[in-house]
Amino acid sequence: MAEHLGDPTPASLPAVSYVMPVLNEVEHVEAAVASLVDQDYAGEFDVMLALGPSTDGTDELVARLSAADPRIRSVVNELGTTPEGLNVAIRATSNPIVVRVDAHSVLPRDYTRIAVDTILRTGAANVGGIMDAQGKTPFEQAVALAYSSPVGLGGTRLHVGGDEGPAETVYLGVFQRDRLEAAGLFDEGVRRGQDWELNRRLRKSGETVWFNPALRVVYRPRSSVRRLARQFLSTGLWRGELARRDPSANGIRYFVPPVMVLGVIVGLLLGLVGVVQAIVGAVPWALIGFVIPAVYALFVVAATIVIGRRLPLRARLWFLLVLPCIHFCWGIGFFFGIAKLTRNIQAYTGR
């Protein structure tokens, strides 16, 4: 609804509020904030950081950033979770455009300008684009490739790109505040997948979520196997929770990892039965179960050869581990979510 925001001229461009939940992000938050201050958008803006209970010096760094630039402010996010942090930051701001930012993301200079222009042009309640994962170390490079590949995260437009137009969900999001508030902000009971859940509510209320591939945001992947495993166990956990809450709103791609995990586990157990059969002298027909994990292993190797050929050798070797880590952690987490065990393992997976 362009009429809510005025003419797209420098004098009348809507003011923007950047909102970012931050928890133990001392390695990334300064670059993320710098990319906001450096936007080429001509309208006014402020930056609101929702500070969780960090232990790595993040709060001290943010204090220095705020002292250097009064447009950078912070508010306490006592629980440290993402949806609570986003809502606290949104409520602490008032500008008509809300830009949701991740501490691991770096916005290109034209991001806000293109996003606001897209809102004015389409009237969408939320616009967003592509998560452009880029790694620095060989491990991060392998993770970045998995993010942007159909064999990694399923090939949705927000990961691999596609045509501009209405979408189920988008990466991050630039919102019209009145539509966002009318939808009830982010669901604080959903620790992961809150963007998808909010966009589902927006679409159900008749609003438009708009994908624009020109909005390409650099994202820094997790830097270790442990952090990656925690991330995807949590992601799968909450996807399972959301699938249980609203079964009709989930595409088939969300069920591929849990089905794969179940198949590999059943195949391994069946194969072990076959080994016992062979030991006791019975016909080892159950050995056929080993075919399932063997096929999956061949899939991972083939994906590494075909898709990973663009990577340096060390990153390709990491890809052999990264892909199963994503698949298995996501799939196992999904089962916990479906089984209503979300809260039971949340302490391990984090926010």
**Residue 27 structural domain:** 2-222
> Does residue 64 carry a pLDDT above 50?
yes
- State whether 127 and 78 are in the same domain: yes
Banded model confidence at residue 1, pLDDT cuts 50, 70, 90:
very low
Banded model confidence at residue 150, pLDDT cuts 50, 70, 90:
confident
- Alpha helices, H only, the chain: 29-37, 58-68, 82-91, 111-122, 138-147, 150-153, 157-160, 177-182, 194-204, 225-245, 256-280, 291-306, 313-338, 342-349
- State whether 204 and 58 are in the same domain: yes
What is the count of structural domains for the chain?
2
* Within-domain flag for 233: no
- State whether 132 and 184 are in the same domain: yes
* Within-domain flag for 238: no
Phi, psi of 128 (to 5 degrees): -165, 180
Q: Which two tokens stand for residue 147?
A: 């993010």
End-to-end CA distance of the chain, in Å?
34
Rounded to an integer, what distance in angstroms lies between the CA atom of residue 44 and that of residue 58? Answer: 26
pLDDT tens-digit series, residues 105-123: 889 999 999 999 999 999 9
Between 211 and 104, the higher pLDDT residue: 211
- State whether 255 and 211 are in the same domain: no
- State whether 134 and 262 are in the same domain: no
- State whether 319 and 176 are in the same domain: no
* Within-domain flag for 156: yes
Contact partners, residue 270, CB within 8 Å, separation at least 6: 286, 288, 289, 290
> Does residue 6 carry a pLDDT above 60?
no
Taking the model in full, what pTM does it have? 0.77
* Within-domain flag for 137: yes
- State whether 202 and 63 are in the same domain: yes
- State whether 168 and 257 are in the same domain: no
Q: Which residue has the tokens 């950033």?
A: 65
- State whether 273 and 344 are in the same domain: yes
pLDDT tens-digit series, residues 304-350: 999 888 889 999 999 999 999 999 998 999 888 877 765 545 544 45
* Within-domain flag for 232: no
Helices 225-245, 342-349: crossing angle, 10 deg rounding? 160
* Within-domain flag for 243: no
- State whether 84 and 151 are in the same domain: yes
Q: Which residue has the tokens 């010096």?
A: 57
Burial of 333 from C-beta contacts in 10 A (0-12 / 13-18 / 19+): buried
pLDDT tens-digit series, residues 12-51: 799 999 999 999 888 889 999 999 999 999 999 999 999 9
* Within-domain flag for 129: yes
Taking residues 267-271, report their average pLDDT. Answer: 95
Contact 155, 147 (CB under 8 A): no
